[in-house]
Structure 1
Amino acid sequence: MLHALGLADEAARRFAHQPNVAQVLDMLARGTRCPPATSLGRCFDAAAGLLGLCDTMTFEGQAAMLLETAARGYGEALPLPGAHHIDHRSPGGPSVLNLYPLFKQLLDETTPPRGAAHFHASLVDGLVHWIADAAEATGLRRVVLAGGCLHNRVLAAGLRHRLTARGLAVFEAQHVPPGDGGIALGQAWVARAQLMKGSAS
């Protein structure tokens, strides 16, 4: 994240204790074996690293879990001003939620739990604005919340509350987990329905 923000020197300073940090930064600078990530999970990892909560994970989801625990311990927080914006890359095309301003603000946070709470509040705020923008553009009013990040109760509750308040119908996993396993089950159900439809006709 720091490299993406143009702060490679800051990354070298903050993570000097990590082995091979210079080599990793060199790989990022050259674009060698460093495909860009767009998953929300990596944002949780980056925030936890910037706040000093977790810079090395020993199991999947560890950084996100520590970030959520810190946020819950702090309590409610307001979104940081100017923490996100929506990039419209082409007229009528898909938009992108830009969270770089949020991460820039987290750089100066000295209280990790407070930073974690602000991260969650700002992320919810950004996602709600992005979803509302898409709903207005498409006329769609149903929102399906899925993915591993929805295990995070702070994120899930915040999205549910804010989206419902905007008059959007929110659908969430009920009988299966919201992560990859649940998504795969849904994909299998759609494939089965299509096969059944094909055999009927």
Structure 2
Amino acid sequence: MGAVMPPPACVEHRLSTYSDGPPVLGCGAWFKNTLCVIRNGEAYVSRSVGNLDNAAACLAHENAARELLDWLAGVGNVPPAAIGHDLHPNFHSTRFALDLAQKLGIRAFAVQHHHAHIAALCAEHGVRQPVLGLALDGVGLGSDGTAWGGELLRVDGADFERRGHLRPLRLPGGDCAAREPWRMAASLLCDMGRSAEIATRFAAQPAAAELAQMIERDVNCPPTTSMGRVFDVAAGLLGLCPVMRFDAEAALALEQAATGYITRHGLPAPLAEGWRIDGGVLDLLPLFAVLADLKGIDHAGHGAALFHATLVAALDDWTGQIAALSGIRIVALGGGCFFNRLLSAGLRERLQRRGFTVLEASQPGPGDTAIALGQAWVVQRILEEL
């Protein structure tokens, strides 16, 4: 009777992972949190409980975990063999996972955020061989303790290596910069030696006059390799979204402006010499220098389209160079930035033209709702090696 029990009500996605292993639980990320159980080669991913920044979401997270555990007990009377959680020690999902593991007498394993993004694609597509993963999102704690978000990873089951990353950007004011794209634009102006422009260019922002000094003195300006912040730089320089009212507003505004321009004028050619690659680090500073100087009636639309065209070409070049060194011919595209259709479609076309097999997310999608799936899949691979 137990074997035919339907999944619990909290489950939104059910998919095959094409690999057997003991039942495991993934506790997900901070943003758009989900949980995932993998059992008998199938993954059951819960609907998102939202961001774990409030008591209601945290309680919903815990309730979903209990539903999944009760279901596991009902279908096989077997608790999970292990639990996967994010690398960040202060997430509610991490603390809950560690506490739950202790209560159940099982092991808990930390899985780096971007490793989990790429692992989720491996799980969905049933890929067990090494892949080159391009993980592009807003933020995730890196294994070096800094904020990652623009990463090229070699992922081989339970293991990953960071083969490349975006040139680090400074976040003036820390988390404030992730909500105010004008700050990210100001940061890049400083990097270009143009800090004197900040006060006038962003005169509508009360903190503009002081921000240049903060950046030049490197006070409260933690580094990040986030692709999300790269989109913020472009939106800030083009005046499309100085301050965000909701998550990813700047990136959406940039994509919409680019789409409108492309509809009217076609896709511009990528900016010649718009990027540099050195030692696996992709530097988009030449592109930003051009965007900062665009003028004209539709400079924002033109700049947004030029940004997308050049970014896709740069990522293609970067991925191709790293792949040539590794010999890997499978590229997985993970992270919330791939909700951007201009980015995902453009990069897919270029990579396939090079002969790569490209893995993209179908369910539960490329964003953080896939993290729990990736965590659970990695934990199963860890258990295989023990």
TM-score by length of 2: 0.48
Percent sequence identity is 49
Counterpart residue number, 1:105: 290
Counterpart residue number, 1:189: 377
- Counterpart of 1:144 (choices 332, 337, 340) is 332
Range moving further from structure 2, 64-73 or 171-180: 171-180
Task: State the superposition RMSD in angstroms.
Answer: 1.3
Counterpart residue number, 2:198: 11
1:158-197 equivalent positions in 2, closer than 5 A: 158-195=346-383, 197=384
Letter in 2 for 1:7: R
Taking the aligned partners of 1:185 and 1:129, their CA distance within structure 2 comes to 29
Please tell me whether residue 61 in structure 1 is matched to residue 248 in structure 2.
yes
Letter in 2 for 1:179: G
Counterpart residue number, 1:92: none
1:108-127 CA-to-partner distances (Å, cap 9, x unmatched) read 21211111000000000000
What 5-or-longer segments of structure 2 have no aligned partner?
1-187
Counterpart residue number, 1:91: none
1:122-145 CA-to-partner distances (Å, cap 9, x unmatched) read 000000000000011111111110
Moved over 4 A (4+): none
Letter in 1 for 2:286: P
Range moving further from structure 2, 125-134 or 15-24: 15-24
Range moving further from structure 2, 57-66 or 26-35: 26-35
Work out whether residues 198 and 209 of structure 2, in 8 Å CA contact, stay in contact via their aligned partners in 1: no
- Which has the bigger relative contact order, CA under 8 A and spacing at least 6? 2
Letter in 2 for 1:79: P
Taking the aligned partners of 1:11 and 1:132, their CA distance within structure 2 comes to 36
SS of the counterpart of 1:2?
A: helix
Please tell me whether residue 86 in structure 1 is matched to residue 277 in structure 2.
yes
Shift of 1:45: 0.4
More strand by share: 2
SS of the counterpart of 1:53?
A: coil
Taking the aligned partners of 1:113 and 1:50, their CA distance within structure 2 comes to 12
* Larger radius of gyration between Structure 1 and Structure 2: 2
1:64-95 CA-to-partner distances (Å, cap 9, x unmatched) read 0000001111112210111001012xxxxxx1
How many equivalent residue pairs?
192
Letter in 1 for 2:350: R
More helix by share: 1
Work out whether residues 147 and 183 of structure 1, in 8 Å CA contact, stay in contact via their aligned partners in 2: no
